[in-house]
Structures are given as structure tokens and as C-alpha cells.
Amino acid sequence: MSAGSGRLAFIDALKAVASQLIVLHHLAFYGPMSDYVQPLAPELISWLSQYARIAVQAFLVIGGFLAAQALARDGTLTIRPLPELIWRRYLKLVPPYLGALLLAIACSALASRLIVYESIPEPATLPQFIAHILLLQGVLGFDGLSAGVWYVAIDFQLYTLLLLTLWLGRRAMPQAPAAGRALVVALILASLFYFNRDEAWDNWAPYFFGAYGLGALVFWNVGRRAAPPWLGLIVILVAAALVLDYRSRIAVALFVALALGVARHTGFIESWPRSKVFAWLGQISYSVFLVHFPICLAVNALFERYAPHTAGIQSAGMIVAWLASIGGGALFYRQIECRAQALLSRKAGTARAAR
């Protein structure tokens, strides 16, 4: 994927791998197919069930990197009204997310008619659905209508928190361009050393800001000419937090941040790997992330109800669910995500023309 295409090949590859690991994690963690396959491949199913979910840290770091690129390429917030930026972010995330919620409700209803299993979400209530639309389900204590929808709410919180932090730095010290970045560093430290160590905060952005902020720091401070000192500082900050309280999720976030830093410094972030498969999987990764759980849930229910309960057949079912998640994500990307983004772009262009 060339730079001229507007996409970054290395980031697409990271997103491709991370999204597939998350699909496989949910296939292994939520049965019943994985329950039958466990004796056939106990170590693989156990690893996917326990550890593959940490791949979400890649999305957090990449999210911070891309948010910094969009909001403040030099570390200083672009001149644009805050409500407009927040609203545009909401409109970017929510239309595909809303379509995925409706798919999740439909697939849950189908699965509940076929089988009785603990991983099938309860029927949605109106307050629960409204809370999801407002991206407040975790904050308000509602169960998720689909696995992974918590991430969309957290992404919106993180983007808004980064935006407000940069705005505060510019507003408080307009003559100090680095003020916003200094506040971001302070917030990263607060996350790594306090918020991320307390799971009571895991519905709020500060819990995840350590990983998200690392991505922003890499974008601002690592380029073709400057890299080693800032990469060293990032390692020191995170290493100190890990010495105090080791968390594998933070170690993975550090690894991804360093990989992004090296890729940006060397220039291969734009052009490596040259793989159409990685580029395609990275491009559809958000849609795959949104729709894979209801698709996997439906396939689980069908194989539980109609297929023999043997490890071989159920293994085939897991492969079918995996491939169906990719295919469903590709279709969802083309029919829902792309159309929603095209509509948003047209409205933004009309608004700019009017101004």
C-alpha cells in the first residue's frame, strides 16, 4: 500500500493481525464449539481464550497515533470548534456500530431459539439500547449487546479526552506550543501508574489512556530525523510502570508503540509489508470487529443444534465461523461503513462550502 493511497501499510498489517486475533479469541472463549474442540487442541484453545484478547492494545496504540495525526500534527490542536470535532468523531463511529448492534440483536434472537447457552446475550431493553447508542452502556452499568462493543465507547472517550487535553494546553498556555503534549504525557503517567492498576476504572478513558497516549507520543516525537531519544523515553516510562506493577497488556502496548516508532523512523510505515491481503484485512478491520461476534454466535448455535458434537466437525464449525466473520465484515464494510463515511464526507464538504 503506497503512501499515495492515503493508507499506511504497516498500520493496516497491525490492524489485520489484531482483528483476526480478537475474532479467534472470541471463538475460543465463547462456546459451545470451542468446548468440543478443547480436547483436540487444548494449548491453542487455552492461549486464544486467555491471551489473544490483549491484541486490542494494538488498536489502542494505533488509535492514539491516528488521532494525533488528525487533531494535532505538530502537537498543537488544529483550529476548529471542539463540538464539531467531537460530533464528527461520533458520526464516524456510530452509524456502522448501530448497524452491528441491530445485527447482534437479530443473531442473539436466532441463537436463543436454537440453543440455551450462557454466552447468548439477553434480549435488549429500550434503556439498554439507548445507552449503547449514546456509547454509555459501560458507564451506566448495562451489559453489552455484543462482545467488543465496549471498545467503540472507549475509543470515543479516548478521542474526546485527547482533544480536551490538547485544547486545555492551548487555552491555558497559548504561547507554549508544547503545553498540550506535556499534559498528554502527564495523563499517560497518571494512567500507567494509577488508573490502569485499578479495574474499577475500566469503563473510563483514563484506564486505557496509557496505551492510547503512547501512540500519540510516537506520532509527535518520532520521525525520520528524530527517534532514539524519544523511543528511549517511552521505554523508560513504561518500564518503570511495569516494574511497579507488571501488566501484560501494557507490555504489548509498549511493543506496538516501539514497532510504530521504528516503522515511522525508517519510513517503511507507508510501504511495508507489500501485501494486498494485509491491506484488505486492515481496511475492513473495524467492520470485522463489529460484526464477528453475532456471526460467530449464529454459527455456534447452528452447529450445536444440527451438527455432530465431535471435535473434528466442531473444528470445521470454528473455521466456518472465522471465514464467515471475515466475509461478513467485508460485506458490512462495503454496504454500511463505506456508505456511512461517504455520506459524512458529503455533508462535511457541503458545510465547508456553506462557510
For residue 19, pLDDT beyond 50: yes
pLDDT higher for 88 or 2? 88
For residue 3, pLDDT beyond 50: no
For residue 76, pLDDT beyond 90: no
Lowest mean pLDDT among 1-10, 191-200, 238-247, 325-334: 1-10
Q: CA 72, CA 66: separation in Å to the nearest integer?
A: 10
pTM of the model: 0.90
**Residue 347 pLDDT class (50, 70, 90 cuts):** low
pLDDT at 355: 56
**Residue 2 pLDDT class (50, 70, 90 cuts):** very low
Determine contact, residues 283/326, Cβ cutoff 8 Å.
no
CA 81 to chain centre: 26
Q: Tens of pLDDT along 215-259?
A: 999 998 877 666 567 778 788 889 999 999 999 999 999 999 999
Residue with cell 448455535: 301
Residue with cell 429500550: 126
Q: CA 284, CA 262: separation in Å to the nearest integer?
A: 25
pLDDT at 5: 46
The per-residue pLDDT of the chain, averaged, comes to 89
Q: What is the 3-state secondary structure (H, E, C) of 314-352?
A: HHHHHHHHHHHHHHHHHHHHHHHHHHHHHHHHHHHHHHH
Helices (H), the chain: 9-29, 33-37, 42-50, 56-71, 82-114, 126-133, 149-172, 179-193, 205-221, 228-244, 248-266, 276-283, 285-306, 311-332, 338-354
Q: Tens of pLDDT along 282-302?
A: 999 999 999 999 999 999 999
Q: CA 199, CA 203: separation in Å to the nearest integer?
A: 9
For residue 188, pLDDT beyond 90: yes
- Our count of domains for the chain comes to 1
Range of the structural domain that residue 219 is part of: 3-354
DSSP state, 91? H
**Residue 1 pLDDT class (50, 70, 90 cuts):** very low
307 torsion bin: left (phi>0), alpha (psi -120 to 50), beta (else) = beta
**Residue 333 pLDDT class (50, 70, 90 cuts):** very high
For residue 8, pLDDT beyond 60: yes
Q: Which of 16, 62, 78 is nearest to 219 (CA)?
A: 62
**Residue 22 pLDDT class (50, 70, 90 cuts):** very high
The Cβ of residue 275 has, within 10 Å, a number of other Cβ atoms equal to 15
pLDDT higher for 178 or 54? 54
pLDDT at 348: 59
